[in-house]
Homo-oligomer: A and B are copies of this chain.
Amino acid sequence: MRRKVTLKQIAKELDVSISTVSKSLRNSLEISEDTRQKVQAFAKLYNYKPNNIALSLKNRRSKTICIIIPEIIHHFFATVISGVEKIANEKGYNVLVCLSDESFDKEVINIEMLANGTIDGFIMSLSKETQQKRDFHHISEVISQGMPVVMFDRVTNDILCDKVIIDDALAAFNATQFLINKGFSKIGLLSTVDYVSVGKLRTEGYINALKTNDIVVNENLILKIEDTDNFESQIVSLLENNKLDAIFAVNEIFAVTAIKVASKLGIKVPEDLSIIGFTDGIISKYSSPSITTVSQNGIKMGEKAAKMLIEKLEIEEEEYDEQYKTEVIETELVERESTL
């Protein structure tokens, strides 16, 4: 077991100073061609690689960014990670992925643990619990210390920072309108509880679409699902008690579960019931029937978020003007088999 070689060791072996070694390796013109060659050859032989921790300390930046997501089960978040990774790696940054598991405490711990030099900035989507508590002190704390933060998807107006979102209300409006255009009027909604920002916005879009088309909003057709574990029975009642034409679901888990429930009740999708989901994930793609859905383009969101963050990181201190932008990424409706 051979330990990693350091500048010091090379200097000793070659009987020159550490400075000379360092400069040689960085191709400084100060150093004679001769020594430079000698040092570089030796370094190569011993496979020298600078210690990144030492560089981080010296430069006061680690070239690592962290993305915090609520859970990995939603494929959308996985695609955002891919987008972030892509841009970050292109620009020479590492990406640390952290999971908050929808927990406020885990979010706080992650941030506090990493904000002390380990990483240069955060990209994050709020956990459910954080959105419910509306406690964002851990985030404002970090921002006030000069660490850039970019929020995506589940964001809050209470924090000033760069954001990458989609127009959730508009996308939901369009999806609902799509169903209305097919001639449907008894349209059910499977949404989350209201404190989840995107759930709330998507619900608004749905309601707006109905109102715009003079369809009476029937609260009985709206399910706000709190617990992800046992909502199948709620959907069963919804379908049994109402003769629905269509369903709009705010994520793909809800959409695919609606399909399962329908098939058990002998309701055919799409013949008897059309279903639109949200997020173009693997479930929507591989489900039978495959699911018509609002594509969020997580890759693009991730790329954009990473770009914004790195831009902030590489800006000169003096020109840092605390201007925050909110980028809205386009969505599109991907038509598949679950709608007529």
Residues in A lying within 8 Å of B, measured CB to CB: 1-4, 47, 49-54, 56-57, 62, 64, 72-73, 75, 78, 81-82, 85, 89, 94-99, 106, 109, 112-118, 141, 144-146, 253, 256-257, 259-260, 263, 282-283, 286-288, 290
Contacts and interface: CB of A to CB of B under 8 A. Distances in A.
A53 B50 contact: no
A291 to B, nearest CB: 11
Contact of A286 (B1, B106, B257): B257
Contacts of A283: 282-283, 286
A280 B21 CA distance: 54
A98 B50 CA distance: 21
A49 B118 CA distance: 12
A85 B64 CA distance: 18
B117 A51 contact: yes
A78 B85 contact: no
Contacts of A144: 1-2
Nearest to A290: B260
Contacts of A53: 53, 56-57, 62, 116-118
A253 to B, nearest CB: 7
Nearest to A117: B53
Nearest to A75: B73
A216 B74 CA distance: 42
Contact of A1 (B54, B115, B146, B253): B146
Contact of A97 (B52, B96, B257): B96
Given A57-B57, A260-B290, A283-B286, 7 more contacts: A1-B145, A51-B116, A72-B78, A94-B114, A283-B283, A286-B287, A287-B287
A5 to B, nearest CB: 9
A72 B2 CA distance: 34
The 6 closest A-B pairs by CB, nearest first: A53-B117, A97-B97, A72-B78, A51-B117, A1-B146, A256-B286
11 contacts: A1-B144, A1-B146, A2-B145, A52-B118, A64-B96, A72-B82, A73-B282, A81-B97, A263-B288, A282-B283, A286-B287
A113 B187 CA distance: 52
Contacts of A282: 73, 253, 282-283
Pick the most buried of A64, A96, A106, A144: most chain B CB atoms within 10 A of its CB.
A96
Contacts of A47: 141
A262 to B, nearest CB: 9
Contacts of A290: 260
A116 B72 contact: no
A186 to B, nearest CB: 23
A146 B96 contact: no
A49 B138 CA distance: 14
